[in-house]
Structures are given as C-alpha cells and as structure tokens.
Amino acid sequence: MNLSFLLRQRVEDGRPVRAALIGAGKFGSMFLAQVPTIVGLEVTTIADLDPDRARGACRTVGWDEGRIAGTRFSTNGLEACDAEDVEVVIEATGHPEAGIRHALAAIEAGRHIVMVNVEADVLAGPLLAERARERGIVYSMAYGDQPALVAEMVDWARAAGFTVAAAGKGTKYLPHYHTVTPDEVWAHYGLTPEQAKAAGMNAQMFNSFLDGTKSALEMAAIANACALDVPEDGLAFPPCGVDDLAHVLRPRAAGGQLDHDGMVEVVSSLERDGRPVFRDLRWGVYVVLKAPNDYAAACFKQYGLPTDTTGRYAAMYKPFHLIGLELSISVLNAALRGEPTGSTREWRGDVAAVAKRDLKAGETLDGEGGYTVYGRLVPASRSYARRMLPIGLAHGVRLTRDVPAGSVVTEDDVSLDADRLAIRLRREMCSRYGAHNAAGAPIA
C-alpha cells in the first residue's frame, strides 16, 4: 500500500529504480506507456530482436525523442541482464528458451527478474526460482497478467483465514477451439486477416489464447505459485458468470464441479451452444473462499456477500486485468521491498503438448498456438511419470513416430537435442523435483 511513498524516497535519495526490458511486444509496450508518468522509474535498456521496431513502439506509446535518445537499444538480452545500471530485468519475449537464458543471466548478475514469460516459468520455473532465492534475487510473476493477480487474491484469502476452494480466470472457450489453427483464428476474434496485420497482431500468438494453451500455462503457473491442485483430466472450462462462481467452483460433494477444495480452473464466457454467459468473467480473475466456521459464514450473509446455497462458499473477483499497464507494480515490489508479486514454489502443474490432428513421423512440431499441437494442463506427477512433452519444448522438434489426434505427445515420440539449454534445465528440474510431486511437497 506504500509503493509510491517508497519510490518517492528513492527519488529524494537520488536513486531511481532502473530496469531493463527484454522484448518490446504488446506487453512490453503497455509497460513502456506508463513509464513516463512514474517518477523514479527508469527504463535504461530495451533489448529486442528488432531495435528499430522497439524504438517505434516507444514512439507509438508516447515517448518523446529525448527519452528515446537516452535509452540504450540492443538486440542482445544477455547484455541487458548484465548492464551496470540495471536493478530489475523484465523478461517479456514469450520464448521459453530465451526466457530461461535471460533468467539465468539475470540471476548470475544479481538482478531481480520479472517473468512476463509464463512459458519459460512453467517449463523450468521451480528450478529458476530456487536459484534466484539462493542468490537473494527476486524471481517474480508479472503483475497485470492473470497469474500474479490470482496469486495476490489467494494470498489475501489465506492471510484472512479462509480456505481457498478455487482460483483462476475467465476466457472465451468452446471445445472445438483446441484444434483451431492460425489460419482460422481471426474469424473467432471478429477480425479479417488484413485488419490483424495492420494492427501488428501475430496469428500464432493470438491462437494460443484461443486454443486453450495460454489458459493451461497460466493455471499451471498459479498452481505452482499458490500450492493449488490441477484437474486430473485437464481444465474443464465450465460456463460460468460471476454470480455463479461459488456454486460451480466448489467440490462435487457440495454440489459443485471440482474434485475437492484447493484447485485451479478456468471459466468460459460462452455456453456450450455458443450463447454468451450472463455477467461473464472473460477478462477477469477470481478466488472462491470457504468460510472456516459458522460465524464467518453468517458474516458473509450479514455483509451482503453472495454465497452458494450452503452459505459457506463465496467468490471474490476482479473483472478486468490491465496486463502491461500494471507491470510496474512487480518492478517496484522487487526493487523497493525485495518481494515478488507471486513466485513459483512447487511443481504441481505442467502443460503437455497434445496433437491437434493425426501427426506423422518426420513432421516438425510448431509449438504453442500453431498447427500441430495445443497445450493441456496436467498434474506434474503424471507428466513426469509418463514423460509427457511439455508445450515449451514442442517447437522445432521432429516426430520419430506417429501420434493420433487428441493424444499427448511424449518425449519418446520426438527427437530432442540433449545439449539445448532449455532441455538440460528441464531435465535437471524433473530430476530434482520429480520425487516431490506425488506428495505435493514444497520446494521452498
């Protein structure tokens, strides 16, 4: 509640918070739009594969030429991590292997890191987070994105003495979306390919939101940060509006749709026949609380909190998230308080690659949001035991045998280069934490 006061003190001391941004896409651009109005926060370095595009992004969001001229632009994210005047590194590339590489470099250089890159976090986050903690470095989720917002709500609920029955977000979902390809994606967003191109929108990236992959990644990140369980058979995406959260997202034994208390789930803004859900939560996040006793349940009613039919379950929600416009909260928490806005602490959830169609030996997988596979949320224990191929490694790898549509791709189905950094880190993480999974034992 006092970040702005702490930042003002740093300004008075002549020590502004200085950050480096790696990846000047949509998320990064939204963050850059806010920087000029946050006195005491400076972005000294921006690393992007196309520095001219990054400069253009700065102009688009309102930076003046003086601010642009005073910022270093580079193609090298590793140099940004090692820059002497950088206190916090923001990893926003969305590329799993690049994210791992930059996180390791930031930790080695003693820089706090904010991981917008949920793909990298789900692929090897437990290991990265532990290495950061060992060095006294903050390894943080990105505030503004759903995982950090949910983690905040879960922490609030537990600190107030409530049991967390469920936590997650809303999205637009129908079952057939799992097989949608980039060629079809724009029709689902009400855009023409020409309109999307003019807006600089990437078809494969946007398709990852539609086909369920991004939802799976975000729920895995929440499960791993908040000690919550994931559904055994993947996300169910029940249609549900805000008025029904406490009814739907409670255990089956109490009349709901969950296996038990303490789970992640995503609710759909569409009924299964395509009709819009009343008062949907498409853009928001939620937590379902369980009262610890009859007195607390009575207070729910007395103070007007909508509950389920038992009166014991109630929901709190945030109807919107502002993505990069809120990212400074993570940067300032890391620099001023030495705290993350959510951070991986267990390995409970994983995201496995599932064939969108019949795949043949010799084909090359094209990863998240592509034509060949989508990501399904699975318990980490099952992923580890069955050697499921994580979606973060399902890009640019060749199949060695056929995989039927709807089947999980395993590491035995593909040819993996054991020398690749992401594969080495993933295998180290699996080896180190695999035995913890069945019991859900905490890493830290």
What CATH code is carried by the domain that includes residue 363? 3.90.1210.10
Look at residue 22 and give its three-state secondary structure. strand
pLDDT for res 49: 96
pLDDT for res 1: 75
Q: Is 243 within a domain?
A: yes
Q: Are 309 and 218 members of one domain?
A: yes
Q: Is 133 within a domain?
A: yes
The β-bridge relationship of strands 41-47 and 17-22 is: parallel
pLDDT for res 281: 98
Written as six digits, the tokens of 90 are 């923001």
Find, among 76, 92, 74, 85, the residue nearest to 23 by Cα: 92
Q: Is 199 within a domain?
A: no
pLDDT for res 439: 45
pLDDT for res 442: 44
Find the domain containing 39 and state its range. 3-144+325-337
Q: Are 388 and 275 members of one domain?
A: no
Written as six digits, the tokens of 413 are 């189905």
Q: At what angle do helices 96-109 and 118-134 cross, to 10 degrees?
A: 20
Work out how many domains the chain is built from and give that number: 3
Q: Is 381 within a domain?
A: yes
Q: Are 289 and 426 members of one domain?
A: no
pLDDT for res 199: 72
Q: Is 338 exposed, middle or buried (0-12, 13-18, 19+ CB in 10 A)?
A: exposed
Q: Are 390 and 368 members of one domain?
A: yes
Find, among 363, 355, 376, the residue nearest to 415 by Cα: 363
Q: Are 332 and 272 members of one domain?
A: no
Q: Is 443 within a domain?
A: no
DSSP strand E in 117-191: where? 139-141, 163-171
Q: Is 49 within a domain?
A: yes
Number of neighbouring beta carbons within 10 Å of residue 358? 12
Q: Is 437 within a domain?
A: no
**Please, are residues 258 and 166 in contact by the beta-carbon 8 Å criterion?**
yes
pLDDT for res 202: 87
CATH assignment at residue 64: 3.40.50.720
Q: At what angle do helices 51-60 and 26-34 cross, to 10 degrees?
A: 50
Q: Is 200 within a domain?
A: no
Q: Are 116 and 159 members of one domain?
A: no
Give every residue of the chain whose pLDDT is below 50, as ranges.
438-444
Q: Are 152 and 140 members of one domain?
A: no
